[in-house]
Amino acid sequence: MLSLTKAEKSDIEKKIEEDILALREQIAILEEKVKPIAPDCSLGRLTRLEAMGEQHVNNKILDESRLRLSRLTNALLRVDKPMFGICIECEEPIGIGRMSIRPESVRCVECANNL
C-alpha cells in the first residue's frame, strides 16, 4: 500500500467535513424521533408497541451516529499529521481505498479483521 499523497489527504479532509455535516443533520432528526412517547397518546396498543420498537432502533442508530461523529471529528484533527492513514498496529499505510470510505480508520483491513 502507498502512503496518502497531499492531494488525497485534502480530498479525504473534504469528505470528513461532508460526513460530519450529514451526521449532525441525521443526529438532530433522530433526537427528535427518540423523544419519549406520551403514555396517554391516542395510539392503539399495537401502534404504540411499533412506535417503541422503532424508537429502540432509532436509539441504536443514534448511538452509532454519535460514535462515528466523534471518530470523524478526531480524524479531522489528525488528517494533517504524518501518522494519518497509517495503521496503529502494523504501522503500514492503510491505503486510499479504505481511507476514502472510512476516513476514521486507524487500522488497516487486515489488522481490523484480526481484532
Residue ranges binding Zn ion (CB under 5 A): 87, 89-90, 108, 111
> Shortest approach of Zn ion to residue 108 CB, angstroms?
4
* For Zn ion, the closer CB: 83 or 90: 90
**Dihedrals phi, psi of 64, to nearest 5 degrees:** -65, -40
* For Zn ion, the closer CB: 68 or 93: 93
**Dihedrals phi, psi of 4, to nearest 5 degrees:** -75, 140
* For Zn ion, the closer CB: 3 or 58: 3
Under a CB-based contact definition with an 8 Å cutoff, are residues 90 and 112 in contact?
A: no
* For Zn ion, the closer CB: 96 or 108: 108
> Shortest approach of Zn ion to residue 4 CB, angstroms?
15
Q: Measure CA 94 to chain center.
A: 18
> Shortest approach of Zn ion to residue 104 CB, angstroms?
15
> Shortest approach of Zn ion to residue 87 CB, angstroms?
3
Under a CB-based contact definition with an 8 Å cutoff, are residues 80 and 69 in contact?
A: no
Cell of 94: 492503510
